[in-house]
Amino acid sequence: MKNFKKKILAAVLTAGVVSSMAVTTAFADNGGVTKTPSGIKNEYLEIKRDNDGDFTIHAIVNPETGETTKLLFDMTSDIVLSIDGVYDEFSTYSIDDGVVEGDSIKDTDASNSKIECERSLKFIPNKVNGKKNVVEVKFTAKNISNESHMVGGRIMLDTMLDTNDDAPFRVAGVGEVTNRIQFNGNEIPSMYQAFDSLENPSIVSTGYFASGSYRPDYVQFNNYWISDSNYNPVCDTSLSLGDSVVNSIWNPVELKPGESKTYITYYGLGELDVIGGSLTLGATRSAGSFEINEEGTGYNPVSITAYLKNTSAVDIANAQVALELPDGVSVQNGENTAEYPNLAPAVQEQKTWVINAEPSDTEKTVTVKIAAKADDIDAIDPIEYSFIIPAIEGATQPTTEEPTTVPTQPTTVADTTVPTVPTVQPTTSPATPENPESPATVDEPGNIATGDSRVSIALLATLLCAAGIAAVISRKREEK
């Protein structure tokens, strides 16, 4: 059976037969920013705010007509502070007071006599393709009083993909997340994706958590109704997500008079590449290039996540997915191959690798391949990703080796434990208080890659589904 390739652009919501290598790593496309009555927009996204301090993000489907589709529920995402143990929600008196500066719109809440809060919503380059289709959500709390105060922060993103308000998640290093879950400290994943439907995704969003000094103390994939109006929501892992949200939470710290603290998270369009057939292979990555670390001695790691699903009607034996790595690139803490002795129909597995590059004294571009195979399955074209490795002055060149290839016979059963994924640095330059880290680029969100086959595109899309989640088209939030 032939494989099929496709890439679904989240911002366009249309499918087309294109190469999985169509993603560009050129970061020149900035897009023009336009002020609107309630916020700002560029050619990819629109940010809207209301007078209560809430906000939303929409993907632009048709720039000419202004047609959009939702990435967040309308006017329910927000930021809150904990000031000396008291809940305080960010609010603005008028959306007309917002200040547009370049790619951002800023609002200030000075209603609290102790802590002044400034919020910035900014378009930034996607970590994979460089298009400004990701939003940096940032707010800074400043102590304007004459006494010290204990201040904590929380950013809630009320995810909604098109008409699905129960949008499920795929979390790097974890897999499908349909129940509520919390990650602490070093366990916080590098990235996550959300889909309007696991059965047939027409739009994909991707989020990143800040790292370094801006990293949250813990994050939650939680429910809206337990999260709204709560600085520290209960996260009951026995319950399903339902009306899904993503919470980034920072523990209270002491702010002396005149001191401030900044809180950041990132969310926007996402990308997924797919090769379809009886055995369907999918992949996504956290960045399109390796970035030099703050010390200038090496690079921040990059994560690659592969999906493997049996889309046939019979069991598939000895399935495996592996990375084929070029010279100077290696897998961090693990093997480059995941093996599955038996995949029953509709069963889907997920594997995340964290890869590192050896320091190089010259800039170069390398190619990593994600390959899959199984018994009695026609050859599957690999998914290929190019990564830029920037030059580090004085670095030594790595020893030349043959690329790692997929083994002929499986030897071990895939590890089913949940790996801890190091946070990937979401910036293109060292973070400073004046220039906090920004995510570079996500595989262009909303892209799915595949080739031709007897399997329909709708069936292909079940790559991402282990269990269907019904679309929730309406809900009442008059309480807000």
Show me where the domains of the chain are located: 27-269, 273-451+459-464
Q: What is the pLDDT of residue 441?
A: 37
Q: Using the predicted structure, report yes or no on whether residue 193 has a pLDDT greater than 70.
A: yes
Q: What is the pLDDT of residue 167?
A: 66
3-state DSSP helix/strand/coil percent for the chain, to nearest 5? 5, 45, 50
Coil, strand or helix at 393: coil
User: What is the pLDDT confidence band of residue 286, given thresholds at 50, 70 and 90?
Assistant: confident
Return the percentage of the chain with pLDDT > 90, whole number: 48
pLDDT at 147: 96
As a whole-number percent, the residues of the chain with pLDDT over 70 amount to: 74
> pLDDT tier at 460 (50, 70, 90 boundaries)?
very low
Does the pLDDT of residue 457 top 80, yes or no?
no
Across residues 346-358, what is the average pLDDT? 90
Q: Identify each DSSP E strand in 10-125 by its residue range.
A: 14-16, 34-35, 39-41, 45-49, 55-62, 67-70, 78-83, 86-89, 99-101, 104-109, 115-124
Lowest-confidence region among 222-231, 367-376, 388-397: 388-397
**C-beta separation of 73 from 160 below 8 A:** yes
At residue 269, does pLDDT exceed 60?
yes
- Quote the tokens at residue 315: 């069991």
- pLDDT digit string, tens, across residues 414-429: 333 333 333 333 333 3
CA angle 29, 72, 60 (to 5 degrees): 40
- Stretch 384-398: mean pLDDT, rounded? 82
From 154, 219, 246, select the one nearest 423 (Cα to Cα).
Answer: 219
* Nearest by Cα to 188 from 172, 204, 167: 172
Contacts of 90 (CB under 8 A, 6+ apart): 53, 78, 79, 80, 81, 109, 117, 119, 139
More confident residue, 42 or 25: 42
The CATH classification of domain 27-269, taken from the options 1.20.1300, 2.30.30, 1.20.120, 2.70.98: 2.70.98
pLDDT, position 265:
96
What pTM was estimated for this model as a whole? 0.73
Nearest 5°: the CA angle 31, 32, 34 is 140
Q: Lowest mean pLDDT: which of 74-88, 192-206, 364-378?
A: 192-206
Summarize the confidence of residues 435-462 as an average pLDDT. 37
Q: Which residue has the higher pLDDT, 63 or 296?
A: 296
- Interval 350-360 mean pLDDT: 92
The token pair at 247 is 């919470």
Give Cβ neighbours of residue 479 (< 8 Å, ≥ 6 apart): none
Asked whether the predicted pLDDT for residue 474 surpasses 80, the reply is no
Residue 68 in 3-state DSSP?
strand
Q: Please spell the DSSP secondary structure of 234-248, one letter per residue.
A: ---TTSB-SSEEEEE
- Please state the length of the chain: 480
Distance CA 64, CA 237 (A): 44
What confidence category does residue 311 fall into, taking pLDDT thresholds of 50, 70 and 90? confident
> Given this structure, which CATH class describes domain 273-451+459-464?
mainly beta
Give the model's pLDDT for residue 66.
79
Copy the structure tokens of residue 396.
Answer: 């030594």
The stretch 317-332 carries a mean pLDDT of: 93
250 to 79, 113, 186, 449, 472: CA distances (angstroms): 11, 21, 14, 37, 30
So what's the pLDDT on residue 335?
85
Reported as a single tens digit per residue, the pLDDT across 163-176 is 777 767 888 878 88
**Longest Cα pair distance anywhere in the chain, in angstroms?**
73
Phi, psi of 54 (to 5 degrees): -85, 165
**Mean pLDDT (whole number) for 270-299:** 87
Q: Residue 123: what pLDDT?
A: 97
Please give the pLDDT value at position 396: 60
Which range has the worst mean pLDDT, 19-23, 331-335, 347-351? 19-23
pLDDT digits (tens, 9 = 90+) for 231-260: 999 999 999 998 889 999 999 999 999 999
pLDDT confidence of 32, banded at 50, 70, 90? confident
397 band by pLDDT with thresholds 50, 70 and 90: low
Q: What is the pLDDT of residues 95-137, one digit of tens each?
A: 888 999 999 999 999 889 999 999 999 999 998 888 999 999 9
Please give the pLDDT value at position 342.
94
Query: Residue 201, class by beta-carbon neighbours within 10 Å (0-12 exposed, 13-18 middle, 19+ buried)?
Result: buried
